[in-house]
Structure 1
Amino acid sequence: MRPQVILHMMSSIDGRITTADWPNSVDAEETYEMLHEDLRCDAWLVGPVTIAEFAEGEPRPIVTDQIYPRQTWKSAGAGIAPYAIYLDRSGSLHLNRERVNGDALIAVLTSGVSDRHLAELRRDGISYIFAGDAELDLDRALNILGAEFGIETLLLEGGGTINGAFLGCDLIDDVSLLILPIADGHPGVPTTFDYHLGKARLLRLVSVKPLAGGMLHIRYRVCQADRGNA
């Protein structure tokens, strides 16, 4: 059974999520992280761009002739949640660490990644799973994470494309949205969802909480066809 997925994002009132050049009159990052902790999920998931910001040092690739089976591998430190999960379809990231913010890393890969990259992940203590041959199967990834790592709740903290892909596959159950008192309006700036979803999704309002500095924390439930509008 796949984990419950909560989309946790921070945006301007017009949905922009890139914070460059935003006024710093509100302590947005600290509030966002506080809400992240309050949601108490077993794992958080991001894309390659976000996780690359946590890389340490220069790439240290490995040369090996060994062939590794395309099956889940768990590091020695992978027994206790929360986990930091990242998508890396081609196996191109070099993080050189086994944890981010104290959370054990798990890479979501396709079976086409090189054995050299798998050797590097093992050396660095990064667990990994396979979810697809050439493209990532997000539903499959979630089910593996639930079955093999015991993850029951997961925070999705991706960019607009990744968020849209999850929503397009009906894999988002709830939305936790921190709205900042900022109007952006810049064209071409990433937003909460930057992906062709086909049919728009209906959300049911769960709660609205005013926070310091004019911020709002809004919770929604995603209404999906297979469970009606519950």
Structure 2
Amino acid sequence: MKTEYKRPHVMIMSEITVDGKLTLKKGASSKILMKYMDPKTDILLHKTRAEYDAIMVGSNTIRIDNSFLTVRYVEGENPVRVIPSSMGDIPPESNVLGKDAKTIIAVCKKAPQERVDAILKKGAEVLFCGEDRVSLPLLMNILATDYNIKTLMVEGGPTLNYYMLQDRLVDEIRLIHLPFIVGGADTPSLVGGMHIDSEEEMFHLALKEYYMCGSNLVTEYDVNYSE
């Protein structure tokens, strides 16, 4: 059963290799693989950003990739950037703290005040969402209720993707398939998190669209949560 409280419509969008990996190895930037995307797929990614009210990635992605999360290859408005970071450990030189788009950093109540002050000094907003760690359901509710964010795109790593799915906050998934196999037992894949114990815990998807975008296959799925 889907959540009943108010929240944005959420889509995860990601590039993945044939074996489902996001990067070359643990700790490597996803930008290494993204440079092999067809230029038309780059345009699709930025077009999608322009269509959504907000874009979200985790703090680890920010530390590794230092992304801008802005619209650059098409005409359109930059989405609001949302970064869950329980302890507020966002490097002060992070590109998402620039003035080219509105940025919201979500922290828990235990985040050190000096980190919160450093984020505020850079011009970003800080939301307190949870006691010991960021509550993603609460964050989604605040974004929808207080910021009128109706649609949110997630370009996150495996941990954020897992918890968004675990909390039943994802409506659809769009994947850009890269024709590579990178291997590696600990190489980050689309979804990380905890191991499941049975098939009843699997996240069920329904394929709704597939097409070529330049030389890349793109697949689109609805997420179907069991009762």
TM-score range, shorter chain: 0.7 to 0.9
Match of 1:210 among 188, 209, 212: 212
Q: Distance in 2 between matches of 1:225 and 1:3?
A: 20
Q: 1:116 Cα shift?
A: 2.0
* Structure 2 residue identity aligned to 1:182: F
Partner of 1:11: 16
Q: 1:121 Cα shift?
A: 1.9
Normalised to the residue count of structure 1, the TM-score between the two structures is: 0.78
Contact 1:4 1:173 in 2 (8 A): yes
Q: Which runs of 5+ in 2 are unaligned?
A: 1-5, 69-76
Which protein shows a greater Rg?
1
Contact 2:23 2:33 in 1 (8 A): no
Question: How do residues 169-180 of structure 1 correspond to structure 2 at under 5 angstroms?
Answer: 169-180=167-178
Q: Distance in 2 between matches of 1:54 and 1:17?
A: 16
Q: CA deviation digits over 1:138-174, x for unaligned, max 9?
A: 1111111111111111111111111111111111110
Identity of aligned residues (%): 22
Q: 1:185 Cα shift?
A: 2.3
| Worse-matched range after superposition: 90-99 or 190-199 | 90-99
* Structure 1 residue identity aligned to 2:46: E
Change (3 A) 1:83 1:100: farther
Q: Distance in 1 between matches of 2:54 and 2:224?
A: 23
Q: CA deviation digits over 1:113-150, x for unaligned, max 9?
A: 12222222221100111110111211111111111111
Normalised to the residue count of structure 2, the TM-score between the two structures is: 0.79
* Structure 1 residue identity aligned to 2:150: E
Change (3 A) 1:25 1:115: closer
| Worse-matched range after superposition: 24-33 or 115-124 | 24-33
Contact 1:173 1:222 in 2 (8 A): yes
Question: How do residues 92-171 of structure 1 correspond to structure 2 at under 5 angstroms?
Answer: 92-96=89-93, 99=97, 102-171=100-169
Partner of 2:59: 48
Contact 2:39 2:214 in 1 (8 A): no
Change (3 A) 1:19 1:150: farther
Contact 1:89 1:110 in 2 (8 A): yes
Match of 1:186 among 171, 184, 187: 184
Match of 2:85 among 83, 88, 107: 88
Matched, 1:36 2:60: no
Q: Distance in 1 between matches of 2:87 and 2:39?
A: 33
Q: 1:44 Cα shift?
A: 0.8
Change (3 A) 1:191 1:172: same
Q: Distance in 2 between matches of 1:150 and 1:30?
A: 32
Q: Distance in 2 between matches of 1:25 and 1:163?
A: 18
* Structure 1 residue identity aligned to 2:209: S
Contact 1:55 1:94 in 2 (8 A): no
| Worse-matched range after superposition: 115-124 or 99-108 | 99-108
Partner of 1:201: 203
Aligned pair count reads: 202
Q: Distance in 1 between matches of 2:111 and 2:162?
A: 24
Q: Distance in 2 between matches of 1:2 and 1:134?
A: 22
Q: Distance in 2 between matches of 1:30 and 1:99?
A: 27
Q: 1:98 Cα shift?
A: 6.3
Q: Distance in 2 between matches of 1:85 and 1:14?
A: 29
| Worse-matched range after superposition: 193-202 or 22-31 | 22-31
